[in-house]
Structure 1
């Protein structure tokens, strides 16, 4: 299983802060596509990505037990 952590507006859009899925073997890009199709997350492409607390790229492949976080840009003042 892969644990997906969602923050800020992604939490608001889904009503969830965490999703667990059996998607080991997918790339980050493939997982993002699946999430956008299944959870209607139009702003997901703007998010920073971390796997196991280290920044990741779209081509990184997910392994069973990974924790992937999608962190949207935050503005404030």
Structure 2
């Protein structure tokens, strides 16, 4: 199982703060799940607290974080 955590406005957008999901081969495969269809393409993604892209392989027990892009000046 994977743990998926949503941060900031993604909590409201996706309707959860933390959820468990079946293990997927890659982060991109996980995000194909209908639960994530509203996730913007520019979302910041992390696996086990390290920024990742959709090609990142996943393993049972991984933690995935979904975060909005950060802006600042």
Q: TM-score, normalised by structure 2?
A: 0.82
Cα RMSD for the two superposed structures: 1.9
Partners of 2:61 and 2:39 lie apart in 1 by 26
In the alignment, structure 1 segments of 5+ residues that lack a partner are: none
The alignment partner of 2:31 has SS state of: helix
Matched, 1:21 2:17: no
Residues 10-50 of structure 1: per-residue CA shift (max 9 Å, x gap): 10123311110112x4211111111xx2354142x211111
Q: TM-score, normalised by structure 1?
A: 0.78
* Equivalent residue number for residue 68 of structure 2: 72
Partners of 1:11 and 1:61 lie apart in 2 by 24
* Equivalent residue number for residue 29 of structure 2: 30
